[in-house]
Chain A
Amino acid sequence: MTLYTRGYRRYDHGFSSKGVRFGPILAQGYRDAVRGKAFRRLNAFFLLILVVHCAWLYLTPDWMIKQIARQSHGTGASAITSALSMRFVVTSFVNALTGLLPLLVVFVGGGLVAEDLRTRALALYLVRPLTPVDYWLGKLTIPATVVVVSFLAPALTLVLFGILLKPSSEMLAFASEQGPIVVALLAYTAVVALAFSSLVLLVSTATARRIPALILGAAVFYGGEMVRATVAHTNPPGAEFWRATSLMSDARVVFHACLDETILLEGHPPSLRAALFVLGGVTALGAFAVLRRARTVEITS
């Protein structure tokens, strides 16, 4: 006898709530995240990379500026070479951190849903006046905030440092030329905060254990990069999609697109369209998984 013949019907009331209340989840989660040793060590490493790049901006030798000017078709003008060196250094900073950001997001986000499932603390959220959207936003914004604090803030500091190195007479004009870099950094941060965090939450929800979530999350990030590198020189069916399987490269594609440049990668780089499709898809999947899980404690339905 099926459930339907026994009178089963779906319980189809919609959710209702006044306003979103994810603030306490974010605040508590962020406090927990910054207590971790892994977070502090990674952050210290990020700061070291920032210091190196600041020193690089400060000490950029003339020969390098000239080489950059030559690469940019020999315009030679001082403002252009300075802007280019700034772009060059910021791009280097982004490239240096792109490989490490997944680690940071995985460490911070791997246990967020998994621990709630393992310890059955999800029940305590379900009996609070929170909707699944509150829960999802609360959990998503924890690694997203970490990305903003650990990446965007240092990156903008680097740009500001570059501006402050200019003589005061050139400072304002130079600052106004940095708009595209700032936009590119904001876009890159948004992509990393949303897509990387969503992927980690998806893995965390699926595994329901922190350590497997950390391992699987890292495997997906770095495995995707390996797949991209493998298909970069070939042209298999669905090549455009396969080349976009690395979220790290996809985020860099978005960064360079904002700067109106093409990303420098060996072989064929992912197209912007495919990168956006994959990043959006991962974000949507992560949201779906958490929202579905945060409705009920039932797992057999």
Chain B
Amino acid sequence: MSDAPSIVLTEVSKWYGDVLACNEITATFGPGVTGLLGPNGAGKSSLIKVITGMLAPSIGEVRLCGAPPFSSPHVMRRLGLVPEQDPIYPRATAYEVTAYLTRLHGFSAGAAAGAAKDALERVGLAGAMDRPVQGYSKGMRQRAKLAQALAHGPDVLILDEPLNGLDPVGRREIVDLIKELGAQGRCVLVSSHVLHEVESMTKRVLLMDHGRVIADGTLSELRRDLSDRPSTVRIEAGAPRDLATRLVGLEGVRRVELLPGGEGLLVLTARPDELFGEVARLVLEERADVRAFAPTDESLEAVFRYLTT
């Protein structure tokens, strides 16, 4: 078993009968937060089940901290999972469930009770931990699921749609917690189909579609790899029409649009670096009235749209 928290997938495929859920996935996840992204049905949940040892891969190899998870129960001591569904015993209290599931990690009753209380406090459920889970809101259930995943102090965390049902304040708290866990050196894999959720937690993403990995890397790396695709740049300027006439002739510029209200321009270009250079030159040498400029499509939404269309 390796010391560093890691997940290594080598040409992993998973079939259900004749349905292909994951197709030859090769990826490595180390310390820090990684987003696992894709639309519903992309194969994220199947991949998570393979990584967590709930399913055996049909072919390929999975290593969780150096051990194959499907056949190595001992490696589960290092794993915490927030499943997508609500599997927590509804009639029990969050404290009872968390303490029980922590005991299954080999904790004594006393140690499990302490760890459960700490974890519930950490996810903001200290005040409600003695209430039955069936009376919880969706957001509170999410927190309870997170608590049972954190209580035994795992260094690999797999979170399947962890922000589902949370209110904006709750989202912010859980996002901060996830970022903190990543910053502590834990390997955190966050699955979501809501791109901006993941964008708020990490820049490293694995994009999946139809069971395949279609991109793996940081957002800026992905955008660079897509440099042949035109990029949209928003420029806020005082005299947008004048600026438009200067930029329209640049190599790579395909379209220039005036923003409503004359606030600036939207420039579609295949060579954003040249555009940035030219705008900087105009500001420095010709005192052009440019207040701000930035690409508008380095978001995950845009990258994902490019990759899947």
Contact = CB atoms under 8 A, between A and B. Distances in A.
Contact of B59 (A9, A14, A124, A297): A9
A21 B112 CA distance: 15
A119 B13 CA distance: 27
A129 B52 contact: no
Contacts of B55: 296-298
A3 interface: yes
A120 B16 contact: no
Interface string A8-22: 110101111110010
A18 B17 contact: no
A108 B105 CA distance: 25
A264 interface: no
A106 B71 CA distance: 32
A131 B72 CA distance: 9
Contacts of A126: 52-54
Contacts of A124: 81, 83, 87-88, 101, 148
Interface string B1-39: 000000000000101111000000000000000000000
Chain B interface bracket (under 10, 10 to 19, 20 to 34, 35 or more): 35 or more
B49 interface: yes
Nearest to A123: B83
Nearest to B160: A123
Interface residues of A, number: 34
B193 interface: no
B68 A13 contact: yes
Contacts of A296: 54-56, 70
Contact of A8 (B54, B58, B72): B58
A292 B12 CA distance: 23
Interface of B: 13, 15-18, 49, 52-59, 68, 70-77, 79-81, 83, 85-90, 100-101, 103-106, 148
Given A24-B104, A127-B79, A129-B73, 6 more contacts: A7-B59, A11-B71, A13-B70, A127-B81, A297-B55, A298-B54
Interface of A: 3, 6-9, 11, 13-18, 21, 24-25, 28, 115, 119-131, 296-298, 300
